[in-house]
A and B are shown apart, each in its own frame.
Chain A
Amino acid sequence: MSAYAGDVAALARKDLLLELRSRDTLPAMLLFVVSALTIFHFALPSGSSERAETGLLWIAIVFTALLGLTRAFAAEREQGLLDGLVLAPCDRSAIWLGKTIGVTLFLVLAEIVALPAFALFFHPLSWELVAAVALADIGIAAIGTLLAAIAAASRARELMLPLMFLPLAIPVVIGGVGASIAANPGTFLAFLGLYDGVFAILSWASFEYVITE
């Protein structure tokens, strides 16, 4: 394993260990996504379109991700730990990548519960929907982690993160809903893949500038 991959693995492992011990983030994400789907189930009139149902699933996913992202740098922010990581001689993008892997994993775990709940409340899952969710997770985690780092450095962080993240999540919802219901899901899946690629590269390259003053 290269030194860079080793750093990323150590940082991601650290985040998983922190969550395993504190149980701060994942239970909140699970509770939120299941509650949201339950509310949508009773709020949506019977005979609603597949587009409306799928749209609500994507809203639930985006806000669940936002909940996880709000806590992404909580330990580092509350205890000033970013200083310690920034001073280490490792490539600073490894901090972003390690954190992104952790966020992605939490999101996937939340969706492992959310997708069956959606199938139970609304309609069966299609492979296109599952593929779109998997692709969206990468993009959401990539850009969301960068924005969470920016927000962590600001005073109004609870306000800043949604303000920055939600506009950038709109393409994910469009791509996700499109891939789930359109006749040509390939186009929308490719769009999500492109979104992932562009934002992952941008976030990876710019993280160093974000966490240094």
Chain B
Amino acid sequence: MIRARKLSKRFGDKRVLEGLDLEVPRGGFVLVTGPNGSGKTTLLRLCAGLFAPTGGELEVDVPRGAIGFLGHEPLVYRELTPLENLDLYGRLYRLPERRERAGAMLERFGLWRARNERAGTFSRGMLQRLALCRTFLHDSDLLLLDEPFDGLDAEGADLLQTELAERTGVTALVATHDPEALSGRASARLAIT
């Protein structure tokens, strides 16, 4: 599913990743840990195709539309409502019955009552919930999650755990500073230093 050989990434003179080897089989759930600036986010962005490697090889055996990506930004338009945001993404991902799926996802993550409010008025935790709705809106073969518990309260964290538990067989690469929260689910850990 994901195979990296001597993967490296530089931004100008700054070396962010160097000589990374990684193999994630289909259905693998890998936790990526490491201190700030170690390259966890860069690795996820490389796997998503948002960055091109500077050196080495990277194979991600998943079509673009089958990746669920959660980054530092929620990737939602602040002037649009949650329903409008999910409807737009549902359209671009060619989802059948996208409005029903959007509604169901908002209900699942506790945002249904705020469905017609502008996302710009949301708290950090609500934006993270909306970002999770966007990430899980389509059926992914590969999940790339960067600090998925960031900003979530206990209820939000439980909802995320439930969502991940239902997605058995999905390959996942999760960058986190709190590996214990997902240790029961992880098949491997990658520590970047």
Contacts and interface: CB of A to CB of B under 8 A. Distances in A.
Bin the interface of chain A by size.
20 to 34
A89 to B, nearest CB: 3
Nearest to A95: B92
A86 interface: yes
Interface in B90-137: 91-94, 118, 134
A90 to B, nearest CB: 5
Given A17-B84, A21-B118, A213-B51, A85 B77 contact: no
Contacts of A81: 73, 75-77
Interface of B: 48-52, 63-65, 67, 69, 71-80, 84, 88-89, 91-94, 118, 134
Given A6-B91, A88-B65, A89-B93, A22 B51 contact: no
Contact of B79 (A17, A84, A85, A86): A17
B134 to A, nearest CB: 7
Nearest to A88: B92
A83 interface: yes
A21 B65 contact: no
Contact of B88 (A10, A22, A80, A83): A10
Contact of A10 (B52, B92, B118): B92
A14 B65 CA distance: 20
Nearest to B75: A84
B145 to A, nearest CB: 13
Contacts of A6: 91
A78 to B, nearest CB: 9
A198 interface: no
Contacts of B48: 83, 87
Nearest to A22: B79
A18 interface: yes
Contacts of B84: 14, 17
Nearest to A75: B77
